[in-house]
Amino acid sequence: MTSRRDELTEEILSLKQRRGAVILAHNYQVGEVQDIADFVGDSLELSQKAARTEAEVIVFCGVHFMAETASILSPEKVVLLPDINAGCPMANMITAEGLREKKEELPGAAVVCYINSSAEVKAESDVCCTSANALKVVESVDSDEILFIPDQYLSHYISTKTKKKMSFWPGYCPTHVRIQPQDIIKRKQEHPQAKVMVHPECRPEVIALADEVLSTGGMCRFAQQTSAKEIIVGTEVGIIHRLKKENPGKEFIPASEHAVCPNMKLITLEKVLWSLQDMAPEVKVPEEIRLRAKAAVDKMLEIGRSG
Ligand code: 13P
Ligand code: SF4
């Protein structure tokens, strides 16, 4: 007997072909959405894919800023976000107007904008970065003074690695701040042989306890390369699906079961199918903003990944 999941998968795959669509999914998506995607990756990898794909339609299984970035890079394509309410609270912690005011206070600073931000905010920035290349981007900028927005914790982490003068915006990820130092300490006691990898959106006290500080794509690579058999994972729990699938012989222990991004979980198989049926909801960036935002995203793509 075929399950509802099998039926949905079949319908999605056949409609995807008829629409000439590609399905991109972030590492935090629920397992069954990851499993029907053409490509699963981190923010940088997904924006690289969105820039290069020849598909006419991109179904973006992620959050709003990710779909916007795809639209910024490929304006001729239809970019679908299966649930338009899938936002990123951190991205919403800064507005273009707020950034303009801050820039006036710091006229000499170059603005490095984490990709977790709106197109309007990117349009006010000099260059974008993701967690996979933030340090490389900061080092490459032609200024010794940086205004890093909107994630204060990623900014703090980078400030420990660079000599540049860093000013920050007080944004944060409500999911990653749920991971507490005590969680890591407890997991390490339970699994003394385990390696600890955490995302740079975590608090500095959590980062201080980690063996590796990595983007989600970096975590997937590290998991494959390390000889460690147990790994404590300090990021959103959705990534565990991919880690287990790619590394059947290893054990992955979430640092905290509370690290769930409710926005990432809004995307379901049903909504992916409906988005392909309705060709909606579509994400499109107004041309004047798009062109300015694209300059900042293109600069980042030229710089690439750190490792
Ligand atoms: P990555 O770019 O490392 O996948 O992170 C995206 C994100 O939203 C982290 O919360
Ligand atoms: Fe935004 Fe945090 Fe969710 Fe990433 S995990 S999309 S930063 S709220």
Our mutation pick for probing the ligand 1 site, out of 114, 131, 222, 233, counting the most ligand atoms within 8 A of Cβ, is 131
Tokens 């979980």 found at: 265
Q: How far is the CA of 18 from the centre of ligand 1 (A)?
A: 31
* Residue 56 near residue 20 (C-beta atoms within 8 A): yes
DSSP letter at 76 equals T
- What is the pLDDT, as a whole number, of residue 145? 98
- What is the pLDDT, as a whole number, of residue 197? 98
Q: Which atom of ligand 1 is nearest to the CA of 199?
A: 3
- What is the pLDDT, as a whole number, of residue 185? 98
Take atom 7 of ligand 2 and give the residue whose Cα is closest: 173
Residue ranges for the chain with pLDDT beneath 70:
307
Residue 234: what are its φ and ψ, rounded to 5°?
-95, 70
- What is the pLDDT, as a whole number, of residue 1? 74
Q: Is the distance from the beta carbon of residue 47 to the nearest atom of ligand 1 less than 6 Å?
A: no
- What is the pLDDT, as a whole number, of residue 307? 56
| Distance, CA of 196 to CA of 204 (rounded, Å) | 14
What dihedral do alpha carbons 129, 159, 202, 147 form, nearest 10°?
A: -50
Q: Is the distance from the beta carbon of residue 151 to the nearest atom of ligand 1 less than 6 Å?
A: no
Per-residue pLDDT reduced to its tens digit, 150-193: 999 999 999 999 999 999 999 999 999 999 999 999 999 999 99
Take atom 8 of ligand 1 and give the residue whose Cα is closest: 116
Single out the residue of 132, 112, 127, 117 nearest to residue 41, CA to CA.
132
Take atom 2 of ligand 1 and give the residue whose Cα is closest: 43
- What is the pLDDT, as a whole number, of residue 56? 96
